């Protein structure tokens, strides 16, 4: 079964609002997590990542929060714009053969209304 999953399949927000996309993971040994954005007809695109020795990491308009106690991470998008409409995936890096090959959850579709 999947070790990375998302709470909500679809999230609708108004332009300018903040968006929060949630993700749960089950492997307590996971030490690295990544968020990806996938626009329609394209491959996933890296947004932001975080290692398990941190609980928060910020990028441009995006913040990832990690709660290891409950095995939960979230992606916060500030001042959401129509261009943010996409499917967002959280991924867990299992360190296969010492490498970094992510395992993906099912994704959340973010719809931004103008």
Partner 1 sequence: NAGVTQTPKFQVLKTGQSMTLQCAQDMNHEYMSWYRQDPGMGLRLIHYSVGAGITDQGEVPNGYNVSRSTTEDFPLRLLSAAPSQTSVYFCASSYSRGEGYNEQFFGPGTRLTVL
- The residues that touch partner 1, with contacts defined as CB under 8 A, are 2, 9, 31-32, 34, 41-46, 49, 51, 89, 93, 96-107
With respect to partner 1, which residue has the nearer C-beta, 7 or 51? Answer: 51
> How many C-alpha atoms does 6 have within 13 Å on its Cβ side?
23
Smallest distance, partner 1 to C-beta of residue 112, A? 21
- Supply the minimum distance, in Å, between the C-beta of residue 106 and partner 1: 4
By beta-carbon proximity to partner 1, the closer residue of 17 and 72 is 72
| Strand ordering across the sheet containing 72-77 | 4-6, 19-25, 72-77, 62-67, 56-58
Residue 97 burial (CB count, 10 A): 6
d(CA 88, CA 46) in angstroms, rounded, equals: 10
**Nearer CB in complex with partner 1: 7/46:** 46
CB of 48 to partner 1, least distance (A): 10
């Amino acid at each position: 079964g999947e070790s990375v999953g998302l709470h909500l399949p679809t999230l609708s927000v108004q332009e300018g609002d903040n968006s929060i996309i949630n993700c749960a993971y089950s492997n307590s040994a996971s030490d690295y997590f990544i968020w990806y954005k996938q626009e329609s007809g394209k491959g996933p695109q890296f947004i932001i990542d975080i290692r398990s020795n941190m609980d928060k990491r910020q990028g441009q308009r995006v913040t990832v929060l990690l709660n290891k106690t409950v095995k939960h991470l979230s992606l916060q998008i500030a001042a959401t714009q129509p261009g943010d409409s996409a499917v967002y995936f959280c991924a867990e890096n299992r360190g296969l053969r010492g490498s970094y090959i992510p395992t993906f959850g099912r994704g959340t579709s973010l719809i931004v209304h103008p």
